[in-house]
Structure 1
Amino acid sequence: MISRTTLVVLITALLVSSAYSQGSGPEWTQIAKADQVLMGDYQGKWLNTPTKGYLRSNPKVCAQVINTGIGKYRINLLPDHNRRAALIYSGEATLQGDTIVLEDGDWSIRVAESGLTGSGKVGGQEAKFSLSRLRLGSPTLGAKPPKGSLILFDGSNFDQWEHEDGRAVTWALLEDGAMEVNSRFKNKSSTPPIGGDIYTKQSFKDLRFHMEFRYPVEPEQQGQLRGNSGLFFQGYEVQILNSYGLDGLWNELGALYKLSPPKVNAARPPLEWQTYDIIYRAPRYDGNQLKENARITVSLNGIVVQRDEELIHQTANGQLGRNKPAPKEAMPIRLQDHINRIQFRNIWAEEL
């Protein structure tokens, strides 16, 4: 007879697998079980801590289990989530059966469905720890648009979007109410063309904006090839990238690309829905004379990662492109096709 606890675990795993399998490509449909049930955030307490010292007065400990390749992971121990706190420890781990295992000198860590446990030396003293899986999520998931807002995507159609050349959107419309990038790079020989960036049919200047998104695991990819897309206001890019467990640099999630790194890396693990809530203020002109650059405030998963930042140049890889003048006219909002099958949902904008 199956115990009640075992039955709950089986049902939970089935629900997790079902929730993560929505998509049109193998990035979403062929997912390792460890990436579904072991990868992600953990939180708990230090055990057998010294009678005095840092661990005694700061008993909370957090962890990130980050996929770095097929069957490969990095485990970060840190004092808090959502802060730029110095790592307590970071080490490489491997999947062994159903368990992620790390053995590194004084450090020994096991990650299983029951949680994350281990021990290591901190300040010259051995400390043990026990943590449980935690989904940090976002307080603005499912946020409703204010009265008078323009619903840019509600999961039912692409009526508010088009490709740059005026084509109807060729991205995938999923049954669960999301859209998914259908990349031009993966459909090079298609006639008529499939994929490419998409643009709102309406143009904007000042606005309040909400969007939900998620990226796949893609264990065979690294760096800028992992979960890459971009969100553009008048040509200025707010970066989208699988940045879970990374340093939070100027080209990672929450960054103003080539301009400003996020104040903190608030990226969630792959497969989990995340939110961008943004206030954008367009450049100010007096006739043809630029008086003020654009400014932007960006909240990622409810955490302010860019606060009233001045956009001092255009987004571009090369210096020449950054010398373009600040835009004067209203422009469409743009979502980038950068090869990865990013998903988006619940997109709306309120003109200010």
Structure 2
Amino acid sequence: MRRSRTPRFAAPVKIPAPSALLRFLPFLLAAAAHGAVGVGAPPLAGAEVILDGSREMLDAKWTYWAGPRFASALPIKWKVVPDPVDRGTVVQTDDPNVPRGRFGAADIVTKKAYRDFRLHVEFCVMNEGGNSGVYLQNRYEIQIQDGDATKHGMGSVINETESPYFLYRGLRQWNAYDIQFRAARFRDGKLVEKARVTVYFNGVKVHANQEINQVWGGANSGIDGGNDGGKGITDTPGGLKLQCEGHDVRYRNIWIKELDLARPNTQFSRDN
């Protein structure tokens, strides 16, 4: 999702101070020795591959999110194109019905809805300023945005955490999010526990059991975005959504494993 109040390149990307980098040093060293998360991570036992770069799987497991700004039509217009780095094909966020920056016009979402889950997503931003996003339950966005290292930027739980931008590999390179998510909990129809998420970015843990306060971006952003300014979360499962903003961002190797997390703890090891 893009903010509209300031130009994307109003200021150069800010690199974290050395003290911030040192905070991640143990995780960086550990990530170098493990391959269970990060680019190329294979599906866990019991996980379902939901995007493999083929047209067949795209049409079988995904559809458009018909939100208030929806402007496209089935079949999905996103393209299947050659992998820009490796062999095979990948899915490109390219829909002719979407002017740049108009999120919600042609986003795609899984036909299946989810509550708690472990998720792996690989993405490649092709051009400067490229923008997309991974929406958990079609609500909570993990941002993809080249050139933005703010709380609205790359790798952030959008508007709620700092961006771990220094882990981003740059344009035309594959990056990976490994995510464990626990949906909000309700009792007698009232919210009693907010959603929580743990995120690894390119093999490094960057968000640990982070509480998520709301849906950002309004009604065009996702489920509950128009409820009480995004704070009116409802007890409804939602699909995994990928955002189209008229930019060339590519996806491959997306898999998901459904979980039932009894406790409000989403922490997980890179080894399993």
Please give the TM-score of this superposition, normalised by the length of structure 2.
Answer: 0.69
Match for residue 133 of structure 2? Answer: 230
- Which residue of 231, 240, 252 maps to 2:144? 240
- Which residue of 118, 130, 140 maps to 1:208? 118
* Residue identity matched to 1:239: Q
1:228/1:338 contact within 8 Å kept: yes
1:253/1:265 contact within 8 Å kept: no
Q: Distance in 2 between the 1:263 and 1:77 partners?
A: 8
Q: Distance in 1 between the 2:17 and 2:216 partners?
A: 33
Closer, same or farther: CA 261–347 of 1 in aligned 2, 3 Å: same
The answer to whether 1:326 aligns with 2:238 is: no
Aligned length: 212
Match for residue 278 of structure 1? Answer: 179
Instruction: Map 1:7-22 to 2 at 5 A.
Output: none
Q: CA deviation at 1:323?
A: 3.8
Deviations 1:187-214 (A, max 9, x none): 9xxxxxxx71001010001000001001
Asked which structure has the greater CA Rg, the reply is 1
Deviations 1:259-293 (A, max 9, x none): 22235632111111000000010001113021100
Query: 1:258 aligns to what SS in structure 2?
Result: coil
1:217/1:270 contact within 8 Å kept: yes
The answer to whether 1:149 aligns with 2:47 is: yes
Deviations 1:49-106 (A, max 9, x none): xxxxxxxxxxxxxxxxxxx8xxxx9998987996579xxxxxxxxxxxxxxxxxxxxx
Match for residue 182 of structure 1? Answer: 94
Q: CA deviation at 1:302?
A: 0.8
Deviations 1:228-270 (A, max 9, x none): 1111112111111114xx6x32111111112222356321111
2:15/2:165 contact within 8 Å kept: no
Q: CA deviation at 1:316?
A: 2.0
Match for residue 267 of structure 1? Answer: 168
Q: Distance in 1 between the 2:127 and 2:203 partners?
A: 23
Query: 1:349 aligns to what SS in structure 2?
Result: strand
Closer, same or farther: CA 301–203 of 1 in aligned 2, 3 Å: same
Q: Distance in 2 between the 1:252 and 1:303 partners?
A: 17
Match for residue 159 of structure 2? Answer: 258
1:215/1:342 contact within 8 Å kept: yes
1:83/1:264 contact within 8 Å kept: no
Query: 1:344 aligns to what SS in structure 2?
Result: strand
Larger RCO: 1 or 2 (CA < 8 Å, sep 6+): 2
Instruction: Map 1:307-318 to 2 at 5 A.
Output: 307-316=208-217
Please give the TM-score of this superposition, normalised by the length of structure 1.
Answer: 0.54
Closer, same or farther: CA 308–209 of 1 in aligned 2, 3 Å: same
2:99/2:245 contact within 8 Å kept: no
The answer to whether 1:341 aligns with 2:255 is: no
* Residue identity matched to 1:240: I
1:208/1:350 contact within 8 Å kept: yes
Closer, same or farther: CA 78–281 of 1 in aligned 2, 3 Å: closer
Q: Distance in 2 between the 1:208 and 1:173 partners?
A: 25
Q: Distance in 2 between the 1:295 and 1:76 partners?
A: 27
Query: 2:177 aligns to what SS in structure 1?
Result: strand
Identical counterparts, % of pairs: 27
Query: 1:202 aligns to what SS in structure 2?
Result: coil
* Residue identity matched to 1:336: Q
Q: Distance in 1 between the 2:16 and 2:242 partners?
A: 34
Match for residue 42 of structure 1? Answer: none
Q: Which runs of 5+ in 2 are unaligned?
A: 1-8, 25-34, 67-72, 83-87, 220-224, 260-272
Closer, same or farther: CA 172–303 of 1 in aligned 2, 3 Å: same
Closer, same or farther: CA 81–312 of 1 in aligned 2, 3 Å: closer
Q: Which stretches of structure 1, 4 residues or longer, exceed 6 Å deviation after superposition?
A: 73-81
Query: 2:98 aligns to what SS in structure 1?
Result: helix
Q: Distance in 1 between the 2:132 and 2:241 partners?
A: 10
